[in-house]
Structure formats: structure tokens, C-alpha cells
Structure 1
């Protein structure tokens, strides 16, 4: 999202984090800004962008929260984290002891689920020799660090190898098209991950002819059983389980990425864990589930295309659709001009359709009397006059 110089706004994900850091609901923020709850939700999801006076009020509101967080002690900021919203049942299942809040677990699996910590350096920090010198170099570094693990994650979401590679490629093409927005995001890897997951889980893929038959399952029976259980989960549950127990996000970040509330994400996670534990009792513990997810994704030898190919293909697709849009616009303008040129400028009545006449036309006007009419006329003339006689004056 391109930020306005007059009223800069954080990224949609950061807006939600700032709101939840103050334990505010979307309805409370909407009341302060003067909009509806649905409007605030669309702002936090990135579907729409505030404008005009609403943007100024919203930007000042978020800036005040950020200023309070910057001046508050570290302990107070840690105590106000929205992870406390999670239910006690989820806490006990995730942390292993009752009443403990879920934590952001750092994964140390080789090349699999380690969350990429790619951040934009502050403007005042000195440039080192290892810092990217161009946008293409920064994009290639992000792609090299993120793409291999992201392909494996997407494979667990869909169970299709070709779709996993295609989703990651499309996500990075979109990131390259919007690189000024992605480069200033606080979590570029999360931006690309969300785009890849959204594309991979689109319901329109089921209409593709190549998706009429499933891909070949893994060779290991245990991996095949775990993948079947994952694919049997609803898409929202599957994605929540992957982000929390696989990638290692905390509940607020998982809820923000799946566009759900934190309690809703907690419920999805609980139901997903219960469904997995019901069919695979050995994976009832979150640590065991994370280990098996890592092994399942690592068993697939999925290779992502090169970053230069992704950038070149993305630029080619952009040029193609831009030229198509221009050609379509020119076609519409030409059709409109032709219509204005050939259309009549005044109303011309349509002549009535002609009717065929057969035989002699009927005679118009009174015709000869029939015998019955002549008999009636003679009778009326012979009949006596009725009523009083007419009085006529006599001359003297």
C-alpha cells in the first residue's frame, strides 16, 4: 500500500497489531474514528484504504498508540500482548502447562520452518557491504531465503506439487510488481507467504482439468497418512494449523494472516489438533506434530524456479496485461466513435408494414335495400300517425 506523505499509515498487519496491543476491539476503533466496524476490518485486512478526513483521524489514532508503545517499559509491552486472549484449553495444550500463554516458538529445523527475519533497515543505519544495492538484489535475497521453505509449506496446504510451485511463483511475481510496498513492510516474508497461501487455496483451482486426479502420494505410509489427515481438514483449519504449529507464528499473527479474530483462530487450532489426534494419536503433542510436519515437507524434493526467471516472467505478464487493457480500451473507444458516427441524429418513424388485399374491396356507403327493409318501409308509411294532431292556425 502506497502511503500518503501527508498522513502516513502503517501496513494493514501493523494496524491490527497496534489495535490489539491496546486490547481494543474493531467496534471501539470504529467509534473513535467515526466509521463502521466493517470499515475498520477492511482497513486492517488491506482490502480498502482510508481517505480524506477519516484517514487523518485514523493515522493520528494509530500514531498515538505507537507513541505510547515506544515510551512504555518493555515489561509493560510484554504484559499487554494479545496472546492472553487465548483460551485456557489452548494454553494448556500448546505450552504443556495450565494457564500458560502460547509463545512464539523459534524453529531450528534445517531449511524448513525457520521464520525469515527479513526487515527493512532504518534510514539512519550505515550501509554495509552486504546490504542490497538495488531492488532486484533485495528481491533476489528475499526469494533465496524464503522460496524453498514456502514451496514445502504450500505443498502441505494443497497436496499438489505443481500448484505449490505455481503459487509461490505467482506470489513473488506479485511482490515484484508491488515491490515499493513489500520493501517497506515489516515482514516481507509474511507478505509473500500470505499471497502464496491465498492463491494456493483458491476454490477456482478445482475447475482446472489437471486437478481432476490427485497427485501421487508420498512413498512413506506414515507421511501418506499425515498428508491425508491434513487434506481432510477444512481449508481454514488446515492453514491455521500450518501457521501456528508449522511456521511458528503466535495467535494474533496467525489470526491476522487468516483474516480472523484471535478467539476464532484459537478455536480453529483446537479443532484441527483434535482432528489430527483422533486419527493419529501419536501426534497429540504439539512438538510431535511440528516435527512430523517438518519431516513430511522435507521429504518432498520441491525446487523453486530461479529468482531471475520469476522477475522476468512477472514483468512479461505485466506487459501482456497492460497491453491487453490498452487494446481493449482502444476497442471500446473505436466502437463508441463508430456508433456516434453512424447513429441517427433525429427520430425517423418506422413505416407501417403493408397488408395484402385480395378480391374486390367492400363497397362503401349505403347500398340497395333488401326485401325485408323495403317491406318495413312500406309498413311505416302506411301506418297512422300516433299522438295528438298538429294544430295549425286558421285564417280569419
Structure 2
């Protein structure tokens, strides 16, 4: 009998659920194609990308190779066809693209491809709005020479401060274009980074920490509850320049989903799959929102729709949005150490509140158990006088006639008809 000396094989690492979907859509693969290649149902793939479940065993390895987060790739098989394990070509065929290819074509008919959109972020828009990090791990750009950044010894505070210094200013300008309110823009970014520091282990291991913070900032800034706050009931004064005022008014008139899609794609420079994944929409829905938002803006500014090249049009939109964000005064975010201290104070207050509530609940329970009776005692109603009821009386005394009749009945035994009709003397 032999004994195994090797431990279990480590599972293939997978990115976050949002990143899985982005990688799949970046390769123009539909859920049906991935499910057919891995050997599961499309509902299972949706569960993997929603974070409800995770693949295991060989399916996990196949799924990782398929979306491109493993060492090699695998080509999807057609329904009912044999499984193939060779490398996937750079450009999938039209039959392999399926629905995802149609959605990507619909979105890029009037928009640049993801690579083109990312490469155009070199003008004013990239300087003002681009908050993407090169490493994706929040590590600072500087470090010991000859040592990879991923292997540099970093503390949590250093990594957080580096991420904050590189993205906070651009995020604040993005929030201004999204809401049109300067105070709310700074508040949204500060809130997002406080939450990020509170959940830093999750943010630090994310594939895109800047995207994590950006999504939290957008969610806070677009909350409908801000309309009930007294400080946000009146809009901020519009820009002085009529052109910038018209552009900002057009952006704020767009539906929130379309405004966010336009800002992420044409302002930040994300590709269409990345924009769809961050807005939690399908690629086709993100492309439709982008086209509708561009159409609304070009109705007011026809010069933005004149370029026929999608890359040139995206660069023009990015330049206009970046110029609007740069020319308007936006409050600077507070320093990173103060944000970390504020996050720790909030966490400490919530912890103390939870402890006080627990102590109060335990005390109330103990007091109730100590003072509560051990058995039920029926309450007695207080006595009161009752009037209007006649007094109780027994049978009346017999009269002499009644006594004479009683004596007669006892002495004589009546037979015959007299029994039925007694004769009373």
C-alpha cells in the first residue's frame, strides 16, 4: 500500500466575476459558446459571471483558458461538435462570434474598438478623466530598480495612498461631469475611498482597483436620495462660457445610464466590453446607450458628429469632455491620510454602536427575566355596589287555608275521578 506524498493540485486562479464577463466579451464569445466549450448550460456561465458559483475541476481550467486568464487558450466548439483544445486565432470567425459579435458590431458601428479607444487617451480628456492604473494593483510607480512592482514590499497604507494620489483628482472631475455638483463630486470620491480602505483586502486583490473605486463613486453620486438633502436641492451655478454651459446642460439632461456610459467610453477611454461590464449591462445595451447619448449631444453640437472615423470621433468627444472638466473649478479631494483616518473613525463608530446596542439588548433581556412573574396570576376586579336588583326571598309561609288543605290531602286517599279533580272544602 503506497501513501501519497503530494498535496491536492491548486485550483486555477480566476478573476472577479465582473472581470470574467469583461474578458469573455473582449474575446467576442457568447454565453452559449462558452457553455458549449466547457460542457455546461448557459445559466451556469451566467452564475459564474454573477459571482453566485465558481467552476471546479477540469471545467475551471477550461473556463480559465477560454476567457484568457490562463497560460494558453482553447477554441470554443460548436454545439454538438467535438471538443478542440488548440490555440484560438487572434480573429475569431463569423460563425464563432455569434451574438456577441453582433452586439460588438452594433456598438462599434459608430464607436471605436476597445484598443482604439484606449489608445486615444492622449489628449486633454486623458489628462483630466483617465484614472486607470498601469499595474492594476494600486502599487506606486516608483520602486527599487530591477525589482518588479508586483514583488515590491508594500504596506497597505502605501498602496492605498498611491492609488488615491493617482485617481482621486480625475475621479472628482468625472463626478462633476456626471452630477454637475462640485460638493457632491468631492463627497462621492471621498466616500468611495473610505469604503475602499475599509474593504482594502478585497480592493487590493482586484484586477482593477481604480475601477472598483470608480464604480463605488458612480453608485454614490447617482443615488436618487441626494435630491432630498437640503444642500443639494439647488443646482450649482453653471459655467460662464456659453458653449461649456450648453455641453454640461446636455450631459445632465441625458438619462443617468446613458450619461454614465458616454462618460466611461468617451471620457475615461474604456472599451465597449469594459463599459458594459462596469455598468452591469450587456454589450448590446451599452452600445445602444452610447449611440443614443452621442446622438443627443450631436443634436446640440453638430461638429462632434462630422468625423466619419470612429477613433477620430471618440477623440473629439474625449477632448470636449476633458476640456470641460479641466476648465471648471472642482474642489480638490482631501489628503489620503485624512481619508484613511475618516474611514477608521466611521468603522470605530459603527463598532461601538453595535457593541452598545448588543449590551443594551442583553441588559433589557436580563431585566425582563429578573422582573417578570414566574406564573400567571389572574387579575381580580375591584368590588362595587350593584343596585336595582330585587332581594332574594324564599317560599312564603303557609296560610291557615293552605294548612287545612294540606291536612285534608294527607288524611284521605282519593280514588276514582276525584283524583283528577280534587274537591277543595
For this structure pair, what is the TM-score category when the shorter chain's length is used for normalisation?
0.7 to 0.9
Contact 1:33 1:58 in 2 (8 A): no
2:267 corresponds in structure 1 to 246
Given candidates 12, 15, 18, the residue that maps to 1:13 is 18
1:94 corresponds in structure 2 to 111
For structure 2, the 5+ residue unaligned runs are 1-9, 74-85, 140-145, 306-312, 397-415, 421-425
Contact 1:117 1:187 in 2 (8 A): no
1:273-306 superposed Cα distances (whole Å, 9 cap, x missing partner):
1111223322224432221111001112321211
d(CA) in 1 for partners of 2:314, 2:257: 18
Residues 149/60 of structure 1: CA separation in 2 closer, same or farther (3 Å cut): farther
TM-score scaled by structure 1?
Answer: 0.77
1:332 corresponds in structure 2 to 361
d(CA) in 1 for partners of 2:316, 2:385: 95
Whether 1:108 and 2:108 are equivalent positions in the alignment is no
Residues 361/186 of structure 1: CA separation in 2 closer, same or farther (3 Å cut): same
Contact 1:94 1:102 in 2 (8 A): no
1:383 corresponds in structure 2 to none
1:140 corresponds in structure 2 to 161
Whether 1:289 and 2:313 are equivalent positions in the alignment is no
1:122-176 superposed Cα distances (whole Å, 9 cap, x missing partner):
xxx9456994631111111111111111110111111111111111111111111
TM-score scaled by structure 2?
Answer: 0.72
After TM superposition, the structure 1 = structure 2 runs for residues 1-396 of structure 1, keeping only pairs within 5 Å, are 9-20=14-25, 21=27, 23-25=29-31, 40=46, 44=49, 50=52, 55=54, 57=55, 61-68=59-66, 69=68, 70-72=71-73, 76-77=89-90, 79=92, 84-86=101-103, 88-95=105-112, 103-106=116-119, 107-110=121-124, 111-114=127-130, 115-120=132-137, 126-127=147-148, 131=152, 133-284=154-305, 285-302=313-330, 303-351=332-380, 353-354=381-382, 356-359=384-387, 361-364=389-392, 389=417
Contact 2:136 2:210 in 1 (8 A): no
Flag the structure with more relative contact order, 1 or 2, with Cα contacts below 8 A and sequence separation at least 6: 2
Q: What CA RMSD, in Å, does the superposition of the two structures yield over aligned residues?
A: 3.6
Counting matched residue pairs gives 352
Contact 2:31 2:42 in 1 (8 A): no
Residues 355/182 of structure 1: CA separation in 2 closer, same or farther (3 Å cut): same
1:19-78 superposed Cα distances (whole Å, 9 cap, x missing partner):
4447243898699778967x946x645xxx54xxx54x4576443222343313887255
d(CA) in 2 for partners of 1:9, 1:339: 52
Q: In the TM superposition, what is the alpha-carbon distance from 1:203 to its structure 2 partner?
A: 0.9
Q: In the TM superposition, what is the alpha-carbon distance from 1:317 to its structure 2 partner?
A: 1.2
| Aligned-partner SS, 1:105 | helix
d(CA) in 2 for partners of 1:355, 1:270: 85
Contact 2:104 2:283 in 1 (8 A): no
Contact 2:32 2:41 in 1 (8 A): no
Contact 1:206 1:212 in 2 (8 A): yes
Contact 2:176 2:325 in 1 (8 A): yes
For structure 1, the 5+ residue unaligned runs are 369-387
| Aligned-partner SS, 2:117 | coil
